[in-house]
Structure 1
Amino acid sequence: MAAEVQTPATPSDRAPALDEAAYDRLRRRQWLAGEARADGVDRRTLLRMLAAAGALAAPALAAPVLAPARAAAEEVPRPVPGIVKPLPAEWFVPRGTNAEMRWDALRDADGDAAVGRHVPVERFFVRNHTGTPLIDPDTWRLKLFGTGLRGAPAAGQPVEFGLEDLQDLPSTRISALIECAGNGRSFYASQQGQAVPGTPWTLGGIGSASWRGVRLADVLRAAGLTRAAVDVLPAGLDPHYVTGGTDLGPVRRPLPVAKALDDVLLAYEMNDEPLTPDHGAPVRLVVPGWVGIASIKWVGTIEVADHPLYSPWNTDFYRLWGPDYPAAGTAPITTQVVKSAFELARGAVLEAGRGHRLHGRSWSGAAPVRTVEVSTDGGRSWRRADLRDEPRAHDWTRWSVDWRPEGPGAYELRARATDRRGNGQPERAVFNREGYLFGAVVAHPVTVA
């Protein structure tokens, strides 16, 4: 087995690997110049996308901008596929093709910690676009091809790695969150009165784990990465996603080479055990700090290109549309926003006449958490919570605060965090059509009796 290196999370004062908006503007120009390929995306869709405010001034974009032709990926009705692992009701809330983690399950009946910083595999949430495939690790191969590799191997002549080949490379272990871009989506409707489609996550579309694998950068270099490479397109081996009669193929989403070479991991272990099917076995991507769609599960191919690449998952899906955004949407979303959650059921009943220790977790995709504040009176007053972990990038920080209610009745708890770059949680999230990136302070009702 190759040597293992412990890799710290990205330091909080380190600049992002790439300005995504600038990257997207560059790619759009290259596409119009005939230098890009849009895999699975029709020309009308891309032209609509390219008309984003301020992106380009090309005369061809002077026509009125049309509304997006396809619905967001998460709102399309589809049959419910199987999730392999058991989903006991005390741990999960089933949501169509997905299973949301119950926050109160992180604490036992006596209020003691039942789950540490990392969520056990059996309790980890599941986000599937279609269904969980069962892949034989002994016959699995990772195939890399494209014009960004030496010799420009075509799709039929890829550079291949088996699982043992990856395990022979120097391994890296990181602690990182995986979080669905729609985590918290239901609060657009319940708190802000703004209806959005898609899976109605509360805050349980997230989990932290220890991931072990090989850096994507090492695999790309071993495959013959050239200086001409600009985009990397990993694709999963999951069943094809079909919507509106159109087969969009397996889930895939391009990464800029700058991010791919920075901190992305090809993981084959989760919490010191081989990956399980629901979580991407035998190998998945882990893209720290970015929305979960970037962390492709069941990865089978990686195209490395010297020209820009698109897929439906960075054109029609996972962009922001709404009255406060450009008519054709924003650049593809990447970094997660700041959030906080209580390790307590919504509507929980707490005993009157005694003190309580409230627990929760806060996180940010951009930087380590700096402070957490808690309100027990609906936001009228706030006090600092005690941080139980050393905050670090791309992971959550556990916190707690003591509370002795004044008497029986209904109370509204709130928690808000600020990260080390000054990002915080507003009272109201900016609305977007798909309900992505809800980062506002969440009202958490409880009753004292």
Structure 2
Amino acid sequence: DDSWQIGDRLTVNLGLRFDHNDGSIPSWFVYDGWEKTSERVPGVDNIVDMNNFAPRLGLAFQLTSDHKTLLKASYGRYYDANHHDNWSYPGPAVSDYKISYYDEDIEDYVLFDTIPGEMGYTVDPKLKNPYADIFSLGLERELMPNLSVGATFIYKKEKDLIGWEDRGATYEQVSLVSPDNGQTYTVFNQTSALGSNEYWITNPSRYGHTYKALIFSFSKRYSNNWQLYASLTWSRAEGINILSNLTHSGASFALANSGDFGKDPNDYTNAGGPLDHDRTWIFKLQASYSFPWEILASMNYLYQTGVPIPSFTRVYPDQGLRQLLAEPRGPDRYKPWNLLDFRLQKTFTIYKSLKLDAMIDVFNLLNSATVTDNRSQDLWALAYNEPSFIFYPRRIQIGLKLRF
């Protein structure tokens, strides 16, 4: 990483990062309950081996001779961390699957078959490390001392995301009617025998994200006893990933913890479009004012569009029940957020540099009761679209802080 000053207006930053990631599963003891036995599970070496170069470029250019108009641009490639949960599942130590049936003659279950736990799973030897290319272009203008406005455009493209892919089974497209909403869907019906599936941990070609944002900002740095920062963001986040059939954001991207999206081609039905964390508009306002007698008042306001609400329906191809997104994400969203927090603080000087801050915080001052999650998004469920979580109500917190 290095920086060059070219003239009195242009600054250029160049950087190049190299990452090497490899992964193996070590041999380990087999346990009988809580007791360690002498038997060992074999290890697996060199499951992944990744070498990545990540370039970085940034520049800042003063457009005017008064050095009050700044143009900023940057590009960078950023690789994901090496999460072992993306490639270590199921691993050599996974338990076998036991299939049993109930025998009414003996009134007990009888073992029918045993399937090795790791059967049908393959880690792609050419597995790639996910990465994001991020571009930004910004313009900032100082209107007067301590007061500036700006605009920034951000574009982010994520590729080589890790997920499931079935490379063994074959399918034909058929039309099936969902019993939940009466709509007809084009469904992939498995024509090969059940058990012919070969699930690969790979970089599915249909996976990927794009994020676009335009941010307008207003900044008044602290002077004359007050400061203020405001921003308005328009954004669009869309694509397909391992979480595309989940009902809410915040779940883990690690493959072992994120379900089985992509194992069946029907998972892709209506899966494209806005991501589960997509918010079209975000407005933020932060301000503070210092009154006489060391009294400080501050506030923080947040408005943001609600995230998409998905709906799921059922179809019944030959491979069994499949749950589909009834329609693409986006048209239905949770209500917007309106959150206002306020603080009032008084500082007492006890002795020289020894000070005591007494403060009172009011969270969710407007007592907003916006629903942020539902009990179920399944069209057939009795709890469909019933609220399960709303904002915490207005609450007051009193605090003391001693500084020395």
TM range, smaller chain: under 0.3
TM-score by length of 1: 0.23
Q: Which has the higher contact order (CA 8 A, sep 6+)?
A: 1
**Which structure has greater helix proportion?**
1
TM-score by length of 2: 0.25
